[in-house]
Chains A and B, each alone.
Chain A
């Protein structure tokens, strides 16, 4: 049968079936099972109203249970059994095999980098874009253009950026924008300013920022004493410490690295740079999302607080960092966690651009590789559980907030 026709039939059967289910099950409940008339009318109505919610919920519960809840349990089970031994329980053997693979550690390390850089950069660019576009007349138009990549598939974006990173032999015209730009640098004063001073200064600035955040968190622990919150802050300080160390290392590298000027680079095969260039794709996509949410939050700030600050003599930067930022901190956390979730599941970009070669592997692609190319369900499921483990703090936090809100 023609798939289009089959699709149409499925829509009719699926949607019609759903509607028919809801309609007839309600009719059955009201007319046949517990009719609202006769001697027991009152009791029947009450009973029908007890059952009805479950009629409404039934398809959703079945779908959620079968397609999301059951797989979590099943994957957990696969990760501790061996398919080749007929599904015998093997304890942590799969996890041990996974830990022994350097590719897994590479994926985990890259994922950590993605987890820090992509949400940070997307949120920062989004905040910048939101703040800037809110002040100008054609801001809505500018916003929709920055927001546009959101509609583009990861695969489409990969093709777009592959064209940018394209490399041609040295004697041909470069058709990749990045190489064309790169060949403009010749080691002169311009190259020093843009390739050494600018990134070096940015990295030092980032290190200073992280150090400052770590310092304020440390002060908060000292002031408020130890609690669950303090433990979280301690973890944060440890992460920030690593960030300071890493950014200072990068700053040192920015000033000392020897650049091969005048040679077109095959960007996708340079370890370190290639992962970063893949992250650029996701940052490009996610910035629009961050911008839209943060822009709404910025507009929600009460005018009086800003006016009061201006009357007191605050300059625009003080207004932004001391008045606006604290008021949208909650939204920034939401944006950050949402992008974090996207990052953890990122698969298409790596799959389409490098397929994990040249040290660009990430967990989701590693897992796909294990499941469908190596047919190793044990290790594949184990790595899926690692992703689940990384997601679970956000899961707990979301559920906690949702429950708090409902009370």
Chain B
């Protein structure tokens, strides 16, 4: 249909490039978080994450071994020698230039020998190996060396170790992870069961007031849950549920029901009438029809809603803050934990990025695995 002669290929190129740009723009933010979560604190504050893939140049202040320590200093041919390696073990950094004074940090090239005071000399190689010599015995601390080093890209898992397994109550996410899971699973399953029955009644049973109920469900779809916070919290406190998992599950069930009923009803109405009428003629009860015919056939709609509700409860902050998290903070969920981290560790991007990525990893996995159902659910819920 776009076969307008001569223009197609040029247009096609423009389209291709635009899509690449658009996708890059949309992926860039998430990618930044992912890359940052694998970098150390020094690397993150040293350079932008987009530079993480290429070797980065850093100015470092390093120190040789202390000549005062036991066994460091050796006497060889009447000269006192201290030798060793400036970098930590396993580092692959390469020194470009170096110096012994903060005023002249690029005075020497690797392999040069610097003349220090009192006849001392210092030679530093590109890989950080140094020899420090002196005609007299040396005392005190090691010599400072200012290097400009190129470090190859380096990634670490230590952030994940710290966030997931350290058990630290301020940085750790493991407790919050399980709390979130505890909120999410019942809050996803219970509304599906309730809504499925209600949707069947609204779709296939005849009774007075049906149209009114459907209209009510459509109306309740858009009621902002902000309105429900105070009255329900008060209700929970009065009937003794208080703040806790039970109240949160109930709240999520209530807030998820309109969409669940709406989606499932729309789907069930579209099922072929013949099947249901044949079953009725054969003597099946409504309960049997529902469990044996409608439920299996409605699987795609059930899956769509399950994904919605899962994403929504997993990502929720407001309901958890109001109905779940009490003063002890033991029932904190991941979203709340991240908000707290933003307050206490606003500058520690390695912790923040890792914690945030832990919390979005599960929904992303669900998203990519079940995208088909999600799209179908969106289309059923909106284009009507």
A388 / chain B contacts, CB cutoff of 8 Å: 223-224, 227
Interface range, A side:
35 or more
| Contact between A310 and B32, CB atoms less than 8 A apart | no
Is residue B104 within 8 Å, beta carbon to beta carbon, of the partner chain?
Answer: no
| Contact between B22 and A348, CB atoms less than 8 A apart | no
Is residue B338 within 8 Å, beta carbon to beta carbon, of the partner chain?
Answer: yes
Is residue A293 within 8 Å, beta carbon to beta carbon, of the partner chain?
Answer: yes
A307 / chain B contacts, CB cutoff of 8 Å: 1
Total A-B pairs, Cβ < 8 A: 341
Q: How far is the CA of A297 from the CA of B378 in the complex (A)?
A: 12
Distance (whole angstroms) from the CB of B185 to the closest CB of chain A: 6
B contacts with A, residue count (CB < 8 A): 116
List A16-73 residues whose CB lies under 8 Å from chain B.
18-19, 22-23, 26, 30, 49-50, 52-54, 56-57, 59-61, 63-64, 66-72
Closest residue of chain B to A74 (Cβ to Cβ) is B231
| Contact between B182 and A4, CB atoms less than 8 A apart | yes
| Contact between A395 and B335, CB atoms less than 8 A apart | no
Per-residue 0/1 for A123-139: is the Cβ within 8 Å of any B Cβ (1 yes, 0 no)? Answer: 00100110011011001
Q: How far is the CA of A49 from the CA of B374 in the complex (A)?
A: 35
Distance (whole angstroms) from the CB of B98 to the closest CB of chain A: 21
Chain B binder among A103-111, A143-151, A213-221, A246-254: A143-151
| Contact between B245 and A147, CB atoms less than 8 A apart | no
Task: Say which residue of A68, A78, A352, A387 sits within 8 Å of B258 (CB atoms).
Answer: A68
| Contact between B315 and A67, CB atoms less than 8 A apart | no
Is residue A155 within 8 Å, beta carbon to beta carbon, of the partner chain?
Answer: yes
| Residue in B1, B50, B231 whose Cβ sees the most chain A Cβ within 10 Å | B231
Is residue A235 within 8 Å, beta carbon to beta carbon, of the partner chain?
Answer: no
| Contact between A59 and B198, CB atoms less than 8 A apart | yes
Q: How far is the CA of A303 from the CA of B1 in the complex (A)?
A: 9
Distance (whole angstroms) from the CB of A123 to the closest CB of chain B: 12
Distance (whole angstroms) from the CB of A172 to the closest CB of chain B: 8
Distance (whole angstroms) from the CB of B194 to the closest CB of chain A: 5
Distance (whole angstroms) from the CB of A394 to the closest CB of chain B: 6
| Contact between B200 and A56, CB atoms less than 8 A apart | yes
Is residue B353 within 8 Å, beta carbon to beta carbon, of the partner chain?
Answer: yes
Closest residue of chain B to A3 (Cβ to Cβ) is B182
| Contact between A152 and B257, CB atoms less than 8 A apart | no
Is residue B297 within 8 Å, beta carbon to beta carbon, of the partner chain?
Answer: no
Is residue B229 within 8 Å, beta carbon to beta carbon, of the partner chain?
Answer: yes
Is residue B314 within 8 Å, beta carbon to beta carbon, of the partner chain?
Answer: yes
| Interface, chain A (partner B; CB < 8 A) | 3-4, 6-7, 10-11, 14-15, 18-19, 22-23, 26, 30, 49-50, 52-54, 56-57, 59-61, 63-64, 66-72, 74-75, 78, 125, 128-129, 132-133, 135-136, 139, 142, 144-164, 166, 168, 172-177, 180, 284, 287-289, 292-293, 296-297, 303, 306-307, 310, 315-316, 331, 334-335, 338, 341, 344-345, 347-348, 351-352, 364, 367-368, 371-372, 377, 380-381, 384-385, 387-388, 391, 394-395, 398-399, 402-403, 405-406
Known: A71-B229, A150-B311. 8 other contacts (CB 8 A): A7-B245, A14-B193, A26-B286, A64-B220, A145-B26, A293-B382, A341-B222, A372-B321
